[in-house]
Amino acid sequence: MSWEKFVKNQTQLPNDEILADLYALSRQIKQSEKSDLDYSAKSHFANHLAQLSFITSGCKLGQCSFCSYGASNKELLPSDVDFEMKKFIKEIQIRKAFGQNIDTLLFDAVGSIFDKNEFSSSCLDMLFKNINEIVKQPEIKALIFETHIKTLGDLDEQGNYNCSYAMQKLLTFKKLNPQIETFIIELGFESANPEIRNNLLFKPFDDNAYKKIIKYMKNQNINIELNVMATLPFLTQQEQIKTSAESVIQALQSQENGGYGADNVVLFPLNIRKNTFYEHTLQISKKLEKQYGTETPTWLKYQNPIWSLVATLNTLIENGHEDLLSKVSIAWYGGRGIYNDDIFPQDWEEIEEKLTQYKANLSGEKSRVNIIKSLIEYPGYKNFMEKTKNEKQTNLSYRERAEYLHNMINEHSPLLKESDINIITLTKK
């Protein structure tokens, strides 16, 4: 069977035939990860942060190779938002009574909290109605909204910025609540290398437009936090560490100096998520290795996300950028059963505690620099770096790797052999 059925009737795909095939397949794979859930949001508390993540029908904007759309077959309604927000506010009040001071609130969704196709305008109205209530508590000083750059608005032909409904809502709310000291937009970014984003992550965006939108947000006194990925898919471990460190530097560098001008970065280790293009290719390569003895390329092997994360941060220190660590938070919660003993080493509880201390951004002996310097002394890290030093490298460009994946899938993917495949139809908004 050809790729035609995957690409048919789909819009917003690249003009490049190979990438169009891969992007369309990535969208198709994600469609199976949906379930009937009896809740509409999950809360998470850490130090002074309270996070509420809404469970929606999933991301409508992209086809990222490493991420699934998620999540629920149930449509999220304003009444669901109202219920979950009131429960969230009550949780915060209870924790306050027991001495936990919450001063920062983070709101996100499976994909983007500001995407009207995922989180409707009426749901957004209900969200801000409840936020209006919670910010009456004087200890709330910062609000964070995680979303996709496309949900903030767009640039017209003259380069003028047109705000989306969500951004208009946020700017109005900001004007009416001057007591809130900090407003933050958290954006998916992953890598500063457009060739990696286009060919391997399936997350294309125009760098100049991206920077202009960031500049507009900062002119509105809204801080920008960019998510950078550690253990990027389809790269060797050496490439992953080098690329992630460079992306952190460029993300934080001012636009006047060629960077993106972000205020902060969150460094994310890659987790293998079910029903993603990345998982699909790993499964095929493992099957080929088992059945036919086909050697899996180094760049197609899943690497250790914990030590890769530490190695990226240590690279910043070694290259004279330890001052940036105060602006680089990490996303790691541990306890992921999908990983093996090599990834959860014998000293895992101790290592996890140090990563938790890193998040707290303390001073003195427990400063971020000192925590990283202590982590690189663990035997597991040293073994990891020795393997990294000796790993086989590749001469394939990022484009050639996309072609390799296309050929491998074309010959061996069970999806291409199925006779009945639902077609996703995306329309331009």
Question: Token pair 């490049």 is at which residue?
Answer: 16
Is the pLDDT at 100 greater than 80? The verdict is yes
CA dist., res. 211 & res. 209, Å (int): 5
Residue from 60, 96, 54 nearest 78 by CA: 54
Above 80 in pLDDT, residue 406?
Answer: yes
Q: What is the DSSP letter of 116?
A: T
Asked whether residue 425 is domain-assigned, the answer is no
Domain of 323? 4-411
> Which residues are paired to 362 by β-bridges?
367
Whether 147 and 187 have beta carbons less than 8 Å apart is answered as yes
* pTM, to two decimals: 0.92
Going by their DSSP bridges, the two strands 328-330 and 142-147 should be labelled as: unpaired
Residue 299 lies in a domain: yes
Q: What mean pLDDT comes out for the span 146-164?
A: 88
Average pLDDT over residues 64-78: 82
What integer pLDDT is reported at residue 339 of this predicted model? 46
Task: Assign 155 a pLDDT band (cuts: 50, 70, 90).
Answer: confident
The number of distinct structural domains making up the chain is 1
Query: Is pLDDT larger for residue 334 or for residue 290?
Result: 290
Task: Check residue 48 and report its DSSP letter.
Answer: T
Report the alpha-carbon distance of residue 286 to residue 283 in Å, rounded. 5
For 372-381, what is each residue's pLDDT tens digit? Answer: 999 999 998 9
Residue 334 lies in a domain: yes
Share of the chain above pLDDT 90, in %: 69
Establish if 417 belongs to a structural domain.
no
For residue 422, tell me if it sits in a domain: no
Asked whether residue 429 is domain-assigned, the answer is no
Q: Tell me the H-state helices in 142-236.
A: 165-176, 194-196, 207-219
Measure Cα distances from 136 to 20, 132, 145, 385 in Å: 48, 7, 19, 50
DSSP E strand stretches across 181-289: 182-190, 223-230, 264-269
**Whole-angstrom distance, CA of residue 208 vs CA of residue 187:** 16
- pLDDT for position 1: 47
Instruction: Decide if 308 contacts 231 (C-beta within 8 A).
Output: yes
Q: What is the pLDDT of residue 306?
A: 87
The per-residue pLDDT for range 271-282, each reduced to its tens digit, is 788 889 999 999
The span from the CA of 123 to the CA of 410, in Å, is 41
User: Of the spans 92-96, 159-163, 189-193, which averages the highest pLDDT?
Assistant: 189-193
Mean pLDDT of 83-94: 96
Query: Is residue 423 in a domain?
Result: no
Of 161 and 145, more confident: 145
What is the CA 278 to chain-centroid distance, rounded?
Answer: 14
Mean of pLDDT over the chain: 89
Question: In b/e form, how buried is each residue of 221-257, taking b as 16+ CB within 10 angstroms?
Answer: ebbbbbbbbbbbbbbbbebbbebbbbbbbbbbbeeee
- Nearest CA to 174 out of 107, 121, 112, 221 is that of 221
**Six token digits for residue 1:** 């069977």
User: Residue 364: which CATH number?
Assistant: 3.20.20
Phi, psi of 177 (to 5 degrees): -130, 65
Given a contact cutoff of 8 angstroms between Cβ atoms, the answer to whether 229 and 190 are in contact is: yes
- Contact between 52 and 88 under an 8 Å Cβ cutoff? The reply is yes
* Dihedral pair phi/psi, residue 65, rounded to 5°: -65, -20
**31-40, 91-100, 191-200, 317-326: which has the minimum mean pLDDT?**
31-40
Q: What are phi and psi of 389, to 5 degrees?
A: -60, -35
Q: Is the pLDDT of residue 313 over 90?
A: yes
How sure is the predictor about 130, in pLDDT bands with cuts at 50, 70 and 90? very high
Asked whether residue 402 is domain-assigned, the answer is: yes
